[in-house]
Amino acid sequence: MSRNLLDTPIEYLKGVGPQRGDLLKKELGIFTYRDLLHLYPNRYIDRTKYYSINELNGNNSEVQIIGKIIHLKTVEQKRGKRLVATFTDGTGEMELVWFQGFKWIKENLKINTPYVAFGKLNSFNYSFSIPHPELELLEDHQKNLSSAMQAVYPSTEKLGSKISNKAMNKLMNQLLVETHQLFNDTLPKEMRQRLSLLSMRDALINIHFPKDPNLLSKAEFRLKFEEFFYIQMQLLIKNIARKHKIKGFPFKTVGDYFNTFYKEHLPFPLTGAQKRVIKEIRNDVGQEAQMNRLLQGDVGSGKTIVAFLSCLLALDNGFQACIVAPTEILATQHFIGISEFAQPLNLNIKLLTGSSKTVERRIIHEELESGELQILIGTHALFEDKVIFKNLGLAIIDEQHRFGVEQRSKLWTKNVLPPHVLVMTATPIPRTLAMSLYGDLDVSVIDELPPGRKPIETLHYFEGKRLAVWHFIRTEIAKGRQVYIVYPLIEESETLDYKNLMEGYEGISRDFPLPEYSVSIVHGQMTPAEKEVEMDRFAKGNTNIMVATTVIEVGVNVPNASVMIIESAERFGLSQLHQLRGRVGRGAEQSYCILMTGDKLSNDSKIRMETMCRTNDGFEISEVDLKLRGPGDIMGKQQSGTLPLKIADIVKDQDILHYARHQAVQLLKEDPNLEDETNQNIKNKLNVLNSKTTIWNYIS
């Protein structure tokens, strides 16, 4: 497309002007002609359908009726004045109503003249009305009707009557008249023909003024394809570039540490998935390029041993490794778990968290710089400037989405070359999202649980069943099992949150009294040391019940705990519920998760409870979560904001996403550097995109 005209500030478009221009800029972020062109409609109204008044019913939402105004009157009520027109089409009568702008309407409306009235239908006791209808003289309507399907723009909700939908349509028409000659295509003709894609020009015209439903769906397909195709092209090209350009330390040998542990000290036979993932990692770190791998494994799938074996690869090649976790509890758990694995190897492994003592810190700093310290495990305390590695070769980051971009890149600056990076997440990211967001990270998936695990049985109970639930807890404790009872974190109010938890704790302590039962508690207002003591009591089996807020959400590993009670479960998101449930079912016993809720549940909450009761599969759960919440909430605003999608929807349009990815892969196979004459416009568009897109800024 010609850049100049399409970059024209929006206020210069005929019909816009400074006032409307300001509205468009402020409310919709439309600054130029180009921005307006890509403001796509939300939906379409069939303007070929006319209703007669006697066929109206309460189910009609928007209607279009040909008729005449036979009477106009002003009605005064307590709530204010309104102007009411009696409108008839010969089959019946209805009302057209206005609450403002009376003078103009009275002066301009013609009595007993054919009009087309269009708008939202209100019904009350079998009488119908349209508030603030769009009215057009039938004569004009027949002359003007250029498109049977009329676009409704998202602006309608935001701008209301300031720029009506009709006015938006008019502006769009004006814009297309002025600019349509200038639309160059961004996809080669050969490709468009091969894939039966509309040209950009036809797609844009038909998305705003569809000639018929078939052309509309072709236009939508073309524009969605375009968005996905270019995202995938960027990701794939970046991936190729990374493999070539970002040099990393190659771990050439698989040495004594790895081999000894693998052959002699594995605490259990690895699952097929664990073996496969370790192979993928070994292959990556053996190359000259930096590894950037995302390791997805459902809760309890055994990521820790994979992390440990990866660390051994670094150590075998004379490098240090670190593991960073988002909370002290999790970092400590990793430290305990890894130290246990490492016992026979006599390694120097240390823990660094916010509550490490000054003396410990000094020792850690010194040993780290001298290279004596081999594996450092900790929280974001590792990102501090004082923490200097002699030669960090591998950084493992657990639950990455809790860290910011800058923090992660801080680890990079600690080296001449970047270390290999393994990002571990127990929150499965739906495949489609992973593909669109992490297309340039290599992904490994542990999709198999260790053998002998019994699926967790999940049950949903309303408050009225509490006594039965308590009875159940008693029988499980009598069998020697332990129980978690989790309360929601009420984000807006720490005090309320605390009060809730403490009340629960007091009740539980009353219902499960000493000496028969003992109850631990962990909450956000305790110091890390206090939390650790309580966690430790529970982990060692000294207490039967652990009462906690979501601080135990990730990483806690107490295989003997077989019951998870989640209080006010309707307050939790799906992925959080799944994480919490993952704290049980880690031993060989049958485990249970009980979701307690109030009686009144929203539809979404019902779906969440049903999903949890139906499946233990983290990927399936994350797909449902994605559908319920949309990608923004799952990934956090920062990340979803980076996806440049205006028309495509990563949930609904997954098929197009896969198709576009396939086409992008094929194209790059055939012409990796886009040198072919026919691919020049793709190259040009990528150049423009690369100069402004931020999609991966947070990854690299």
- List contacts with ligand ATP (CB under 6 A): 268, 270-271, 274, 297, 299-305, 426, 450, 555, 557, 559, 582, 586
Locate all alpha helices (DSSP H) within 246-357, ordered by sequence: 256-260, 272-285, 303-316, 328-342
- Closest to ligand ATP by CB, 65 vs 396, is 396
Q: What is the DSSP letter of 538?
A: H
Q: Which residue's C-beta sits nearest to ligand ATP? A: 302
Q: Kindly state the smallest distance separating residue 424's Cβ from ligand ATP, in Å.
A: 8
Query: Is there a cis peptide before residue 451, judged by omega within 30 degrees of 0?
Result: no
Q: CB of 310: closest distance to ligand ATP in angstroms?
A: 13
d(CA 543, CA 533): 12
Pick from 470, 502, 507: which is nearest to 487 by CA?
502
User: Which stretches within 561-647 are classed as H helix?
Assistant: 574-581, 603-614, 618-635, 637-640
Nearest distance from residue 618's CB to ligand ATP, in Å?
Answer: 10
d(CA 608, CA 487): 17
- With CA atoms as reference, report the closest residue to 192 among 215, 214, 225, 217: 225
Nearest to 438 by CA among 327, 320, 308, 292: 292
Q: How far is the CB of 416 from ligand ATP (least distance, A)?
A: 31
Q: How far is the CB of 535 from ligand ATP (least distance, A)?
A: 14
Phi/psi at 408 (5° precision): -65, -40
Strand partners, 115: 67, 137
The token pair that represents 155 in the structure block: 């602006």
Q: How far is the CB of 631 from ligand ATP (least distance, A)?
A: 22
Residue 67 or 428 having the CB closest to ligand ATP: 428
Decide whether 155 or 400 has the Cβ nearer to ligand ATP: 400
- Strand pairing class (349-352; 292-297): unpaired
Backbone angles phi, psi at 187, to 5 degrees: -120, 140
The CB-of-298 to ligand ATP minimum distance in angstroms stands at 7
Q: Which lies closer to ligand ATP via its Cβ, residue 426 or residue 660? A: 426
- Tell me, what amino acid is at 185? D
Nearer to ligand ATP, 583 or 608 (CB): 583
Cα(354)–Cα(325) distance, integer angstroms: 12
**Beta bridge mates, 320:** 392
Distance of alpha carbon 215 from alpha carbon 198, whole angstroms: 9
**How far, CA to CA in Å, does 424 sit from each of 282, 644, 695?**
16, 26, 20
**From the CB of 560, what's the least distance to ligand ATP, in Å?**
11
> What angle (nearest 5°) sits at the alpha carbon of residue 306, between those of residues 302 and 311?
145
Q: Report the relative pairing of strands 592-597 and 561-566 from DSSP bridges.
A: parallel
CB 435 → ligand ATP: shortest distance, Å?
Answer: 22
- Shortest gap between Cβ of 59 and ligand ATP (angstroms)? 49
Q: Are 611 and 624 contacting, i.e. CB atoms less than 8 angstroms apart?
A: yes
Q: What share of the chain is helix, strand, coil (3-state, %, to 5)?
A: 45, 20, 35
Which residue number, 201 or 275, has a Cβ lying nearer to ligand ATP? 275
Minimal distance, residue 31 CB to ligand ATP, in Å: 45
Q: Residue with structure tokens 């489609």? A: 432
Residue closer to ligand ATP, measured from CB, 37 or 338: 338
Residue number, 37 or 522, with CB nearest to ligand ATP:
522
Which residue's CB is nearer to ligand ATP, number 528 or number 559? 559
Mapping DSSP onto H, E and C, the string for 437-451 reads HCCCCEEEEECCCCC
Helix and strand counts by DSSP (H, E) for the chain: 26, 22
Amino acid at 597: T
Residues 6+ apart with CB under 8 A from 281: 291, 293, 306, 309, 310, 313, 422, 444
Which residues, including other chains, have CB under 8 Å from residue 593's CB and lie 6 or more apart? 456, 457, 458, 459, 563, 564, 566, 580, 581, 584, 612
Phi/psi at 54 (5° precision):
-75, -5
**Quick one: 304 or 356, whose CB is closer to ligand ATP?**
304
Min. distance of Cβ 251 from ligand ATP in angstroms? 22
Report d(CA 198, CA 221) in Å as an integer: 9
561, 484 contact by CB (below 8 A): yes
Q: Which is nearer to ligand ATP, 380 or 586 (CB)?
A: 586
- Token digits for 135? 């009215």
Handedness of CA 408, 412, 414, 419 (dihedral sign): positive
Tokens matching residue 576: 């959080």
Compare residues 318 and 559 and give the one whose CB is closer to ligand ATP: 559
Q: How far is the CB of 179 from ligand ATP (least distance, A)?
A: 53
Name the phi and psi angles at 349, rounded to 5.
-125, 135
The least CB distance from residue 538 to ligand ATP, in Å, is 15
Closer of 67 and 555 to ligand ATP (Cβ): 555
CB of 607 to ligand ATP, least distance (A): 24
Q: Looking at beta carbons only, is 147 or 274 nearer to ligand ATP?
A: 274
DSSP one-letter code for 289: B
- Which of 290/616 has CB closer to ligand ATP? 616
Nearer to ligand ATP, 393 or 618 (CB): 618
Min separation Cβ 633 and ligand ATP, Å: 21
Measured from the CB atom, the residue of 149 and 426 that comes closer to ligand ATP is: 426
In the numeric block, the tokens 């019940």 are attached to 545
Least gap, CB of 450 to ligand ATP (angstroms): 3
- Contact residues for 370 (Cβ-Cβ < 8 A; gap 6+): 390
